[in-house]
Each structure stands twice: as C-alpha cells, then as structure tokens.
C-alpha cells in the first residue's frame, strides 16, 4: 500500500504592518522538504528570516503575495489574517483567522471561504488529544507584553507616551532596555514597581512573569493570579493597587469585568494602576472583561490613553494583537517547531485527528456565518 503524497505548502508573506514572524522557519521548512513536501516561500523583505535562508534549505522562492495564483490544491500557510476583501478563497488556508469568537467581521471572513469552496484550518484551534493547542505564541506574547508594559510605565513616569516600537534581535537586548527603563521609572516614582498577572499559570502568563523577573521586579511584587483568584468575580481592587496589570486569560465566555469605567471613576486619585497590558486583546469581543478601551494599539502607537477624570493619575492600555513580533526570530522558531509534528501529518489530514477536528470546527462556523448573514440579508 502506497503512502499518501505530501501536499505542496506555500508560505505566504505577512501584510500586517510590523509583522516580522513566520509560521514556517528555514529550520522547519527543511524538515518538511526532507519529508517529501514541496515547499514554496514568498519573497518578503519584512520577514525576520532572509529569503536566502529558505533557498539554502531547498525551498522554492516565489514572488511576494503571489499565493492567489498558486495551484488550488496547494496549502497556503501564514500567520495573521488576510487583508479585508470580498474575493472568494478557493484554497485551503492555515492561519490565525480570528473568527471563532465572533470577533468583528467574522462572518464576512468565513463567507469568503464558503464562496470559494476553500477550507480554513485555524492555527488557534489546532489541538492535541487533551485539548491543548499544539502550537501557540503565548509565552512570547506574555513576555513581550510585560516588556511593553514596563516601557509604557517608564514613559508615563517621565510625563510622556511610549513611542514607536521596533523588533529586537534577541531577548537579551530587549531585557537590557526594559531593566534600564524600570530603574529610571522607580527612581522617579520613589518606590518599587508592582505588577499583577492574571492567567499566570498559562503559557502567556508564565511569559509575563518571566519577563518581570528578568527585568528586576522583586518576587513579592509580581502578583500571580489564575482561575482560583478570579473565581469570586470582579471588578478587583487588587488591579487598581498595582502599577502594571497584564491580562493573559483565554476568554471563551462572558465573565464579570476585571475593571471597567465605573470602577475606575470610583477609584479616585488614590489609584496606583498606570498601565494595563491586554495581551488577550479581545478588543472587539463582546465578552471583553476590560471594557475601558475599544481599539487595538500598534507598534507605531503602542498605547491608548483611557478617559479618566482629570483629578486622577493617567492610565494607558497596551492592546497590540501581535506582541510576539517584538522578538520575531525566537518566537517564530519556538512556534514553528511546535507546529511541525502536525504539519508532518498533513499527507493524512483526512484521518489525522488534529486536522479533522479543525476542519469540522471550520464547517460549523462557516454554516453559522452563512446563517448570520442571511438574517442581515447579505448571504
């Protein structure tokens, strides 16, 4: 009996501004090629990995953004969502689509797949037998989010707003900058910095805690909460009593707000909280437990100022939805290495559990999207 033929995989470029990561690295591209896969890689000056790094391991370099012209049986691999358009999608795409929590525009995105008879394998919902994601950027998202939180807090203590962020070559350079900023902030504040991480037991939370430790926060000033501590239901005074709050939860259903506008208004001038880092970034999710902002921030403008009474100290939110690109090479290598075993199962994806479950989930939400648009007269 012959073995299934590995499919062609096409790594598309990322069009989101400041996005330097890649779902497939030269290391994992070589592993696929060695396993018999035909791997094409779009040329991309924005990607942290040079085109030549892929060519050196045997990948075929193809023009930037040429994936719409790829053969229909080619699997299109990427990270962030595609540009907003209405053209049908006939290919099978493997990416983060941000649809299954009914985020803004979710039905329109899935309609493109339905119209083109394509398929979506959402990277966020590729799970192992225990229900755990096979690959996630969580650790680096938390790590980078906490770093940006410290930098924003330091800028705030300087009477300023955090400016444009640039990707770092490695973790050491990032930590060095954060440590320096923290030292300066603590001198101006006249006290040690205190941080609270909610979701501290997960990948994301562990990353945030790791950054705070490496930045020099004292262990007693890194408050670690998870489901046990939030079970009583918010809002939580404890959030107002720290300098930096990092939200790392994985939101599935409606929960009591952690903080909200009314709670902030009641806090008065005694509020210590200066920076909120919403790593979970459920900005458009109606269940967002931090409804004090309504936009995603960017690497160009990393913070948004919260509207609070003039008698209160300033408050900023970091809500960047691709934080790991602050450390693009390290985060990409870690993510792609975790994803590789599942990619190697693609030749047998009609039977491999990780892929059959992902396809079933896609079909479920595709149907819900079609029904949603019918109600609006837009099917």
Mapping DSSP to helix (H, G, I), strand (E, B) and coil, where does residue 176 land?
A: helix
CA angle 47, 49, 51 (to 5 degrees): 90
Torsion angles phi and psi, residue 119, rounded to 5: -135, 145
Alpha-carbon distance of 178 to 214, in angstroms, equals 9
Mapping DSSP to helix (H, G, I), strand (E, B) and coil, where does residue 72 land?
A: coil
- Direct distance between the N- and C-terminal alpha carbons of the chain, in angstroms, rounded to an integer: 44
Catalytic option among 98, 206, 214, 224:
98
Which tokens in the block code for residue 121?
A: 């394998």
E strand or H helix that includes residue 56: none
E strand or H helix that includes residue 195: strand 195-198
Torsion angles phi and psi, residue 56, rounded to 5: -65, -25
Mapping DSSP to helix (H, G, I), strand (E, B) and coil, where does residue 278 land?
A: strand
Catalytic option among 16, 20, 30, 80:
80
98 catalytic residue (yes or no): yes
Alpha-carbon distance of 56 to 40, in angstroms, equals 13
Alpha-carbon distance of 263 to 309, in angstroms, equals 12
Q: In what order do the strands lie in the sheet with 60-62?
A: 60-62, 38-42, 8-11, 75-77, 92-95, 119-122
CA angle 252, 276, 99 (to 5 degrees): 30
Q: Which residues are catalytic?
A: 80, 98
């Amino acid at each position: 009996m012959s073995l299934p033929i590995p499919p062609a995989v096409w790594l598309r470029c990322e069009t989101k501004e400041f996005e330097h990561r890649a779902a497939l690295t030269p290391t994992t591209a070589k592993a696929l090629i060695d396993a018999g896969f035909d791997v094409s890689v779009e040329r991309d000056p924005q990607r942290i990995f040079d085109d030549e790094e892929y060519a050196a391991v045997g990948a075929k370099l193809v023009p930037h953004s040429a994936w719409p012209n790829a053969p229909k049986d080619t699997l299109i691999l990427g990270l962030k969502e595609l540009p907003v358009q209405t053209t049908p999608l006939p290919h099978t795409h493997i990416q983060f689509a941000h649809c299954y929590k009914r985020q803004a525009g979710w039905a329109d995105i899935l309609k493109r797949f339905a119209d083109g008879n394509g398929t979506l394998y959402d990277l966020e919902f590729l799970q192992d037998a225990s229900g755990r994601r096979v690959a996630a950027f969580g650790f680096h998202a938390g790590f980078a989010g906490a770093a940006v939180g410290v930098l924003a807090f330091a800028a705030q203590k300087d009477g300023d707003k955090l400016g444009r962020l640039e990707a770092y070559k490695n973790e050491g350079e990032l930590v060095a900058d954060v440590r320096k900023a923290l030292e300066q902030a603590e001198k101006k504040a006249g006290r040690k910095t205190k941080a609270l991480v909610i979701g501290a037991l997960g990948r994301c939370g562990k990353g945030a805690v790791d950054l705070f430790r490496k930045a020099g926060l004292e262990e007693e000033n890194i408050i670690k909460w998870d489901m046990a501590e939030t079970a009583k239901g918010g809002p939580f005074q404890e959030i107002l009593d720290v300098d930096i709050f990092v939200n790392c939860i994985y939101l599935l259903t409606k929960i009591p707000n952690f903080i909200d506008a009314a709670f902030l208004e009641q806090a008065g001038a005694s509020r210590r909280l200066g920076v909120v880092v919403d790593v979970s970034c459920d900005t458009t999710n109606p269940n967002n437990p931090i409804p004090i902002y309504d936009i995603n921030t960017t690497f160009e403008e990393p913070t948004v100022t919260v509207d609070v009474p003039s008698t209160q100290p300033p408050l900023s939110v970091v809500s960047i939805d691709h934080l790991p690109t602050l450390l693009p090479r390290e985060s990409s290598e870690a993510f792609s290495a975790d994803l590789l075993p599942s990619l190697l199962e693609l030749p047998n994806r009609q039977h491999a559990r990780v892929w059959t479950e992902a396809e079933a989930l896609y079909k479920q939400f595709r149907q819900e999207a079609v029904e949603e648009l019918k109600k609006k007269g837009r099917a």
